[in-house]
Amino acid sequence: MCLGLALPAVAADTEPEGWAYEVSHEIMSPFCPGRSLADCPSPQAESLRAWIVVQEATGRSRADVEAELLERYGDVIRAAPSAEGIGLAAYVIPLAAFVGGGVLVGIFLRRNTHKGAAPASATAEAFDPELARLVDAELERGETPVDPSG
């Protein structure tokens, strides 16, 4: 008889309902570094998850519970750094690196694809003097050069 009464309570406890489930997945565990509270297997984490569920059941707001957790455990429970103070660097530095990299790629491409300058091998000084003499002789004879493309 007692087992029949306990099963609905266990089933209700495992189903994600309300914001308590979301909070335990969104905050980091103060007991298991690098894991969310939901993924931490420690008994302290289980107790904290139960505390969050009780707070939701009593009608406290999510913001109040999160503020109390932040006050109790500090910034260690934040999954992402806050966008203020030193935490702002976590957002600004990658953005600045991305923009700076784009500028460097743009400069590199602009320098290497500049069409105004001809390569040194195509200038008149780079030709063999004998070849230049033969071309001049052909041009003096007045023959039209043959178009290689057609």
- Rounded to whole angstroms, the Cα distance separating 104 from 95 reads 14
> What is the pLDDT at residue 10?
44
The number of angstroms, rounded, from the C-alpha of 90 to the middle of its chain's C-alpha atoms is 11
The DSSP letter of residue 41 is: -
Residues recorded for the chain? 150
Residue 82 and residue 91 in contact, taking contact as beta carbons nearer than 8 Å = no
**pTM for the model:** 0.46
Domains of the chain: 2-79 (1.10.8.640), 86-141 (no CATH)
Amino acid identity at 72: R
Average pLDDT per block of 10 residues along the chain, 150 residues long? 44 60 87 87 92 92 90 81 68 86 90 68 66 86 64
**pLDDT tens for each residue of 9-27:** 444 444 446 888 888 888 8
**How many alpha carbons fall within 13 Å on the CB side of residue 30?**
13
With tokens 């063999």, the residue in question is: 128
Helix, strand or coil for residue 141? helix
